[in-house]
Amino acid sequence: MTHDRLAQLLLSAVRAQRFEQTADAMQDGAPLAHFPSLDVAVVAFPRQAPAVWANVLFSREHPQGVVADIGSDGGAVRNIRFDADVRNEHHHSIAWWPNADWRRLRFPPLWGDGPHRFVAPYPASLAKLMLAVGVARWVDQQGCTWDDPVEHAGAVQTVAQHGEDMITVSGNNSTTALVAMLHRCGMLGKAGDRLHDAFALYGLPTLRFENTRPDGGWGNAAGAGVGQLQMTAWDTARLLWLLDADAPPAPWLAPGTPPLLSRDSQRQLRQWLEAQALHEVLSSTALAGEPGWVAGLPAQLPPRWIDDDGGVVAGGYRFAPDVRPASNQATLRFAHKTGTTENYVSDAGIVRGVAPHRGCHYLIALLSNLGTRYAPTTHCATTWRIPALARTIDASLAP
């Protein structure tokens, strides 16, 4: 396997799903008006061989896909000019409406000056991974401990409890509490932005967590949200690389660069990611009881979320039973974070094999505008084409 070979596998896997035929609720179920945007990155860690990586990007401007130009050190993408997402004064994500004319929209620059433009979709709740890193760095700097109490909306939980809720079930209240905490300590906000300083230090230029408020506001109504919280698949995969204790050293960092997180904080974030309840995007195990279910990454679902009837119950969500057969037969463990809204879906994480596939180890990240308006049922987060894509990628990596 080579970088170029992996890139071609990713291009073929995306093209095979015929995303241009995806039904759009805003089109009354007719295919979407424009080819959707998909940003997909994979880093594979073969046994006794160097890491292999690739990033491919598709959009209405690149319906056949573009392969990201990444140097031999795994540094930042060199041939893409990333623009940030946009919304209007009513907080609507206008770039993804069927009648949106991108020639009339002003997309602010995000990063890069390559010949190919790519409008980076809002990462939705995948952005909470960036916040978790900020919290962990503050703990490592002895600004607080995981056991410190944090009050929000009249309730008190520890820093660790808020972090777990934010990652495992995508709790918005806990996210607000932790945003406010990082403002108070100067990790976020105009008084100091040490989170972005960290992303710059570790060579992750498209990770942005901007314009959040001291009261914890982080969504569209607060002036943040779409266009202010930004990620791309390649930088998300490389962030995961830095969180993966089993991965080799990051080749793009200079020798002597201190670790992003301490071993203890790295272990804490990994535990939350492994405890993920919302297997509904790249892994669709939580949806195994849905009519017409399409398997994604064959990932185990943590038993703590499975009810007596085999349905997944977590964070106010209840999925159709019975997921136990799919989870029991799964051959992977997927430590990940998802994000989904009407217009967006994302998922990124660390994949490890379980018996008899223990040698399997790779990172995968996907960001797209294919949110719930493209889902086949009200319980689904996106089109079945997304988990089908993930399953194809996993099968391609198996050898």
Q: Residue 9: its pLDDT value, please?
A: 98
Task: Calculate helix-pair angle for 233-243, 263-274, nearest 10 degrees.
Answer: 120
pLDDT digits (tens, 9 = 90+) for 281-298: 999 999 999 999 999 999
CB 130 within 8 A of CB 231: yes
pLDDT band at 192 (very low <50, low <70, confident <90, very high): low
Q: What is the pTM of this model?
A: 0.97
Beta bridge partners of 57: 39, 66
Residue found by looking up tokens 């949110």 in the block: 371
pLDDT band at 193 (very low <50, low <70, confident <90, very high): confident
Give me the amino acid identity at 96: W
Overall average pLDDT of the 286-313 stretch: 97
Percent pLDDT > 90 in the chain is: 95
Residue 357 scores a pLDDT above 70:
no
Average pLDDT of the chain, as a whole number: 96
Indicate the pairing of strand 155-158 with strand 149-152. antiparallel
Please give the DSSP secondary-structure letter assigned to residue 23: B
Residue 241 · residue 249 · CB < 8 Å: no
Q: Which residues of 66-98 are buried (b: 16+ CB within 10 A; e: fewer)?
A: bbbebeeebbbbeebbbbbbbbeeeeebbbbee
State the CB neighbour count (10 A cutoff) for residue 252. 18
SS3 229: strand
Check: CB of residue 345 under 8 Å from CB of residue 280: no
Backbone angles phi, psi at 24, to 5 degrees: -120, 125
Compare 392 and 358 and report the one with higher pLDDT. 392
Q: Supply the pLDDT for residue 398.
A: 81
**Distance in angstroms (rounded) separating the CA atoms of residues 234 and 389:** 17
Residue type, 256: G
Alpha helices in 309-384 (DSSP H): 324-329
